[in-house]
Amino acid sequence: MRAVVVEEFSSPPRLRDIAAPTAPDDGVVIRVEATGVCRSDHHAWLGHDSTITLPHVPGHELVGWIDSVGPEVAKFSVGQRVTVPFVCGCGSCPWCLSGNAQVCPDQTQPGFTHDGSWAERVVIHSADANLVAVPEDLPAAALVGLGCRFATAFHGLRVRAELRAGERVAVFGCGGVGLSTIMIARAIGAQIIAIDVNDTALERAREHGADQVISAAGLDWQDLAAEVVARSAGGVAVTVDALGREDTIRAAIASLAPLGRHVQIGLLAGPPVFDMPRVIAFELSVLGSHGMAAADYPEMLDLVIQGRLRPQDLVTNVIGLEDAPEALRDLGENRQAGTTIIEL
Ligand SMILES: [Zn+2]
Ligand SMILES: [Zn+2]
């Protein structure tokens, strides 16, 4: 089968012919229909992820058709159209059994712990616990992002922060993850303030549902927080850091009203310092979001089926597998390039 193969970190990956995988006893092989191009793929390619062994096939966001099933798989069969969270649980530990596979200590991740979906076929382990059946009539572009950025954003806003219609949310950072967060907040019916230093990103934030935008260009984190508080009559109920920067987290914590909830989605290079005394005095919650278990997908999928959440609106480029090596390199160059998907 054709697959994009990384043979050496940071060296150009190559499109190659490699042996097609076979289904493990508890898993499936999926014939990939479409797969995402995500910043995490770029980090993996640079060698930032210690779980990766070379040679390696990237790709962790996918939609496709079940091609073969292992003998222990009970709930899924050949021919079904499915997607999968990028964190796959083992299916049998206390975390998985309580519906929290996203924090499973024995998790697998396609494109990280084993070969991913930038290939004609990909293996998913513990299929009964991780696969999500999806409607056959939705376009692939509406489904492919559900494995990663939309899952992380939905889980953060809806499951972790319990964001409700009418509440105010401030989203810091309007790249791919930030825009996904804004689209989900819109689908939930929240009031959205979007923040970025880039005017084009703010324009896109408005297009995708932000009610107000704030340019953070030239503002320090205290001034930025003061602006959010002024625009929200005393602070917002929920903040989201979609960037992963210490000063953004500081601004977010300082933007919250009493009993506010901060959701951390952006990945950080190191542990941040922020105002913990304010967390205590205002009884704030600081919440992480790391993907979403298959068990929590139905509510998000319903929004997509109803047309209230349209992940396909974020897709700006559709490429073939042969263009994926170049797309991977380009990810490092341009933060505002939009969202690319690979169709096979
Ligand atoms: Zn991703
Ligand atoms: Zn588990």
Residue 278 and residue 254 in contact, taking contact as beta carbons nearer than 8 Å: yes
Identify whether residues 90 and 38 lie together within a single domain: yes
- Give the span between the Cα atoms of 301 and 171, in whole angstroms: 22
Please name which ligand lies nearest the alpha carbon of 103: 2
Please name which ligand lies nearest the alpha carbon of 125: 2
Query: 288, 307, 328 — which closes off a domain?
Result: 288
Residue 215 domain boundaries = 150-288
CA atoms within 13 A on the CB side of 159: 23
User: What CATH number has the domain bearing residue 193?
Assistant: 3.40.50.720
Identify whether residues 178 and 100 lie together within a single domain: no
**Residue 255, pLDDT above cutoff 60:** yes
pLDDT value, residue 19 = 97
**Residue 303, pLDDT above cutoff 80:** yes
**Residue 40, pLDDT above cutoff 90:** no
Residues, CB within 5 angstroms of ligand 2 (ion) = 89-90, 93, 96, 104
CA quadruple 291, 176, 238, 246: dihedral, nearest 10 = 90
Residue bearing the bigger pLDDT, 170 or 333: 170
126: left (phi over 0), alpha (psi -120 to 50) or beta: left
Helix (H, G, I), strand (E, B) or coil at 184: helix
Q: 53 C-alpha to center of ligand 2: Å? A: 22
The residue-averaged pLDDT of 117-134 equals: 98
Helix (H, G, I), strand (E, B) or coil at 260: strand
Identify whether residues 73 and 114 lie together within a single domain: yes
Identify whether residues 75 and 131 lie together within a single domain: yes
Task: Give the model confidence (pLDDT) of 72-103 as tens digits.
Answer: 999 999 999 999 999 999 999 999 999 999 99
pLDDT value, residue 39 = 85
Q: 249 C-alpha to center of ligand 1: Å? A: 21
In total, the chain counts a number of residues equal to 344
The residue-averaged pLDDT of 248-258 equals: 98
The residue-averaged pLDDT of 199-218 equals: 96
Q: 229 C-alpha to center of ligand 1: Å? A: 31
User: Which is nearest to 29 in space by CA: 79, 86, 102?
Assistant: 79
pLDDT value, residue 332 = 74
pLDDT value, residue 254 = 98
| Burial of 326: CB neighbours in 10 Å, binned 0-12, 13-18, 19+ | exposed
Identify whether residues 16 and 115 lie together within a single domain: yes
pLDDT value, residue 269 = 83
pLDDT value, residue 204 = 94
Identify whether residues 171 and 255 lie together within a single domain: yes
Please name which ligand lies nearest the alpha carbon of 44: 1
Q: 101 C-alpha to center of ligand 2: Å? A: 6
Identify whether residues 100 and 213 lie together within a single domain: no
Share the mean pLDDT of the chain. Answer: 95
pLDDT value, residue 43 = 87
pLDDT value, residue 334 = 62
Please name which ligand lies nearest the alpha carbon of 49: 1
Q: 319 C-alpha to center of ligand 1: Å? A: 17
Q: 252 C-alpha to center of ligand 1: Å? A: 23
**Interstrand relation of 14-17 and 2-5 (parallel, antiparallel or unpaired):** antiparallel
Q: 300 C-alpha to center of ligand 2: Å? A: 22
Identify whether residues 221 and 298 lie together within a single domain: no
Q: 265 C-alpha to center of ligand 2: Å? A: 22
Identify whether residues 34 and 123 lie together within a single domain: yes
- Give the span between the Cα atoms of 156 and 160, in whole angstroms: 5
CA distances from 45 to 16, 56, 64, 90, 157 (A): 16, 9, 23, 25, 29
Q: 95 C-alpha to center of ligand 2: Å? A: 6
**Residue 232, pLDDT above cutoff 90:** yes
Identify whether residues 196 and 65 lie together within a single domain: no
Identify whether residues 68 and 181 lie together within a single domain: no
Q: 87 C-alpha to center of ligand 2: Å? A: 10
Q: pLDDT band for position 339 (50/70/90)?
A: confident
Q: 22 C-alpha to center of ligand 1: Å? A: 24
Residues, CB within 5 angstroms of ligand 1 (ion) = 38, 40, 148
Number of domains in the chain: 2
Q: 151 C-alpha to center of ligand 2: Å? A: 18
Identify whether residues 53 and 189 lie together within a single domain: no
